[in-house]
Amino acid sequence: MASAPAIRAEHITKRYGRIVALSDLSLDVASGVFGFLGPNGAGKTTAIKVLLGLTRPTSGGGAILGEGFGTKAALRRIGYLPELFRYQSWLAAREVLALHCELAGIERARWSAEIDRILAIVGLADRGASRVGTFSKGMQQRLGLGVALLGDPQVVLLDEPTSALDPVGRHDVREIIRALRERGAVVFLNSHLLTEVEQVCDSVAIVDRGKVVAQGTLADLLRTSSVRIRASGLTREGRAALARFGELDDAADGAILIRGIEMEGIPDAVASAVASGARVYAVEPQHESLEERFLRLLGQ
């Protein structure tokens, strides 16, 4: 029997008065790094709050690690980095981590070693005694990530974890996420930085206006691509035949770009152009990036 997914959300709807933040949202996250993508206001943070039990869905439900959303049994095994957080400026970094060790129920005898481990992971080993008020925004983001990693959680929910970081910091966070995957943790990554997501995620869901508009592995989502065809004598009927394979766009150099075509359909598209009487001189398949796919889905 197949094991239950680490995260399961089933037909979740969340309304705030007349505003529908989530609409019939369903997700299964079994393993690895899962990217939850969407524009601002798409419902990403609301979804994380539902998963954590910080807000109750209007309808629908689900589980994390087999436990109900927000239950103590689930929360003991979850790490969470919110998008917006603030620690008391007068506390030292070690004191912040010690406070969260206590909240997480970590044995006091383990605190010192656990805090040392976390400070090293997030690149703050030499700033443990520094007060939070002296930290840059990026350093505070690293500290927040450290809090989320206390106790080796089995599921880690990260809400825009690289939003305040410079390129070096973003690289470090990617390495931390990869290390979490290597040790078997499930990472739920909420982000609008698509290039970051493309580098670390195994699967993604794209959400817009509270609805999932696409979901699957990156390989599946990026199966559609584009192709440049250089041809002469292409008639109106020939263009109509090509339009069956994707969205047509005329390039500046006279070539025709077919967007959204599946790679397996390129030979058929070329055959259609030739059958219409066109002479084809070049066929140039082009890989579609996650950003291009994202924008095209939102446009649809």
Q: Mind listing the pLDDT tens digit for each residue in 212-271?
A: 888 888 777 776 677 888 888 888 888 888 888 888 888 777 788 888 787 788 889 899
Pairing of strands 33-37, 59-64: unpaired
Please write the tens of the pLDDT for every residue from 62-81: 999 989 998 988 888 999 99
> How many Cβ atoms sit within 10 Å of the Cβ of residue 16?
10
What proportion of the chain, given as a percentage, has pLDDT over 70?
94
pLDDT of residue 171: 85
CA 160, distance to chain mean position in Å, is 9
* CB distance 132 to 91 below 8 Å: yes
User: Rounded mean pLDDT of 181-197?
Assistant: 86
Between vectors from CA 139 to CA 165 and to CA 49, what angle results, nearest 5°? 70
Band (1; pLDDT cuts 50, 70, 90): very low
- Of 152 and 214, the one with more pLDDT: 152
Please write the tens of the pLDDT for every residue from 266-294: 889 899 989 988 889 888 887 666 766 77
For residue 42, give the DSSP letter.
Answer: S
Please write the tens of the pLDDT for every residue from 81-133: 988 888 999 999 999 999 999 988 889 999 999 999 999 998 899 999 999 99
Token code pair at residue 88: 């008391």
* CB distance 136 to 187 below 8 Å: no
Domains of the chain: 7-216 (3.40.50.300), 222-299 (3.30.70.980)
Please indicate, yes or no, whether the overall pTM of this predicted structure exceeds 0.75.
yes
Rounded-to-integer distance, Cα 182 and Cα 30, Å: 14
